[in-house]
Amino acid sequence: MIDATNAPGDQRLCVIGLGYIGLPTAAMFATSGTTVLGVDINPRVVQTLKQGDVHIAEPGLNTLVRAALQSGKLSVAAAPEPADVFIISVPTPTGHPEDGEVQADLRHVRAAAEAVVPMLRAGNLVILESTVPPRTTVDLLIPVLETSGLRVSCGDGDGGELFVVHCPERVLPGKILDELVSNDRIAGGASPAAARRAEALYRRFVSGEIFLTDATTAEMVKLMENTFRDVNIALANEFALIADRIGVNVWEAIGLANHHPRVNILRPGPGVGGHCIAVDPWFLLQAAPQDASVIRRSREINDGMPDYVVRQVRRLTAGIATPSIACLGLAYKANVDDIRESPAVEVVERLSRDGFHVSAFDPHVAEAPQLACHLAPSLDVAVADAHLIVVLVDHREFAAIDPTALMTSARTVLDTRQCLDLAAWRAAGIEGVLLGAGMLRDQ
Ligand code: SAJ
């Protein structure tokens, strides 16, 4: 092991968790000249990477990881080894305690910290990148690390032997590699000295600004960012519901409202998915449930959108004995393959449960074993016998569909993302219905 006084380029880094954030981060450090050991408890991930393959679809990631592996700067293993810096980037899913609201499940963070403990040496820097509820660094991570017998440097001017920082990731899936470099970062240190060390480390590839603060503020900043987005999407969705009732096209209305210099309304849709925006507001809420009414209501509105889409499908297929629905899109958002917490999956599953015959197709999703419906191998197969086509994700492939060339029995398409050129679909003889465009007016 090389000790922490070494020149930055000589430091050894150990990244725990090789998922959507850990793997790009490990590869980015390695291609910037740092020696990195990437660790994952999933043997399939380790094996795949050892073969030079990548288990995550993200633009540019394959090339970056291969370059990192071939350079010898990145290696992978099933367990951590001694290093100068440890970065923990493991999932923080939600749990549902029987008698309470959604809460963060921190078992992976705890397990990762426990796995690091036997490797710790005086002078080590430990960085938590996973998104966590406020105070996790102080109340969970530091106590676990101190079971090593080493004391964490806390507060001003405190010596300490370990340096601990919460450095939340902020990258957008689909643009991870660009945003890892260009986004500003927050380094929330258990002590100012710890934050400064993290800053020096990330400076190796980050071109954005790096702001230093304390760990709990950094935790709150990250949660506020995603909650801000969730609340604003909920507002857009509520506008869509209102527009449907009063016979207004919400998309036109939003476009016009956004001409105001201080207004930027987001886009309505079939709900909010992914492992961040649909989850993180709960972490903030659990810290002070009595004060978080806007946050809670926004979660409810966004979680209610799949049900709203199902109601519209029912209305558009009224009178058909067993309606066949072609659902286009399963991913949680456009142009990614991730179906975690996807509202599209929720719509598909609810339709199947409610007795609709559903055929789903997503050009980015090859398999979805748990899905309770037929996963069509192509767009043509999905739409062939459908009564209704429902677009649930604004993948660029769907926007590019030529409706005149589509072999389908469907006479109606429901666009929940304003992704289609509905005038072209109408010209091809398929009635186009847009979510939030006034269709519930007569109900
Ligand atoms: N969505 C809408 N309407 C919109 C914008 C998004 O319905 O106007 C939906 C999307 O379709 C998707 C969901 O919201 O279902 C979330 O998508 P997203 O693109 O807003 O965000 P994520 O989850 O892919 O990434 C977010 C980002 N956070 C912010 O933009 C504040 C990213 O920077 C974070 O790093 C990431 O969460 C994370 O890991 O926390």
Confidence tier at 7 by pLDDT (50, 70, 90): low
Encoded tokens for 351:
């339709």
Could you tell which of 20, 166, 276 is best to mutate to test the pocket of ligand 1, judged by most ligand atoms within 8 Å of the CB?
A: 276
Query: So what's the pLDDT on residue 79?
Result: 97
Mean pLDDT of 247-272: 97
Query: So what's the pLDDT on residue 374?
Result: 82
Residue 304 has pLDDT above 60, yes or no: yes
Query: So what's the pLDDT on residue 3?
Result: 40
CA-nearest residue for atom 32, ligand 1, is 172
Q: Tell me how crowded residue 322 is: count the other CB atoms within 10 A of its CB.
A: 9
Confidence tier at 97 by pLDDT (50, 70, 90): low
Residue 441 has pLDDT above 80, yes or no: no
pLDDT in tens, 321-364: 999 999 999 999 999 989 989 999 999 999 999 999 999 999 99
Mean pLDDT of 394-408: 96
Q: Could you identify the residue written with the tokens 């909920």?
A: 234
277 CA → ligand 1 middle, Å: 6
24 CA → ligand 1 middle, Å: 18
Could you tell which of 223, 226, 303, 393 is best to mutate to test the pocket of ligand 1, judged by most ligand atoms within 8 Å of the CB?
A: 226
Query: So what's the pLDDT on residue 282?
Result: 95
Atom of ligand 1 nearest to the CA of 280: 40
For ligand 1, whether the C-beta of 276 sits within 6 Å is: yes
Mean pLDDT of 401-424: 96
Rounded CA separation 156/130 (Å): 25
* Amino acid identity, position 245: R
CA 114 to chain centre: 26
Query: So what's the pLDDT on residue 158?
Result: 63
The secondary structure element, H or E, covering residue 414 is: strand 412-415
Query: So what's the pLDDT on residue 238?
Result: 98
Encoded tokens for 58:
């993200």
Rounded CA separation 211/405 (Å): 53
Mean pLDDT of 65-79: 97
Query: So what's the pLDDT on residue 159?
Result: 75
Query: So what's the pLDDT on residue 316?
Result: 95
DSSP annotation of 153: P
Confidence tier at 36 by pLDDT (50, 70, 90): very high
> What does R_g of the chain's alpha carbons equal in angstroms?
24
Mean pLDDT of 175-197: 97
Residue 4 has pLDDT above 60, yes or no: no
Mean pLDDT of 150-161: 84
Residue 95 has pLDDT above 90, yes or no: no
346 to each of 77, 208, 216, 332, 419, how far by Cα in Å? 36, 37, 34, 10, 19
Rounded CA separation 188/196 (Å): 9
Residue 6 has pLDDT above 50, yes or no: no
Mean model confidence pLDDT for the chain: 94
pLDDT in tens, 202-217: 999 999 999 999 999 9
Sign of CA dihedral 386, 389, 395, 401: positive
Rounded CA separation 269/379 (Å): 21
Query: So what's the pLDDT on residue 48?
Result: 97
Instruction: Say if residues 379 and 401 touch (Cβ distance below 8 Å).
Output: yes
Query: So what's the pLDDT on residue 160?
Result: 84
Residues in the chain: 443
- Beta strands 374-375 and 357-361: pairing type? parallel
Residue 403 has pLDDT above 70, yes or no: yes
Mean pLDDT of 13-36: 97
DSSP for 63-117, please give it: HHHHHHHHTTSEEEESS----SEEEE-----EE--TTS--EE--HHHHHHHHHHG
For the entire predicted model, the pTM comes to: 0.94
Rounded CA separation 443/178 (Å): 47
CA 22 to chain centre: 13
Query: So what's the pLDDT on residue 43?
Result: 97
Q: Tell me how crowded residue 17 is: count the other CB atoms within 10 A of its CB.
A: 26
Encoded tokens for 388:
């209704």
Positions marked catalytic: 222, 276
- Beta strands 185-189 and 357-361: pairing type? unpaired
For ligand 1, whether the C-beta of 175 sits within 6 Å is: no
Rounded CA separation 235/80 (Å): 44
Residues in Cβ contact with 7 at an 8 Å cutoff, skipping those fewer than 6 apart: none
131 CA → ligand 1 middle, Å: 14
Mean pLDDT of 363-370: 88
For ligand 1, whether the C-beta of 273 sits within 6 Å is: yes
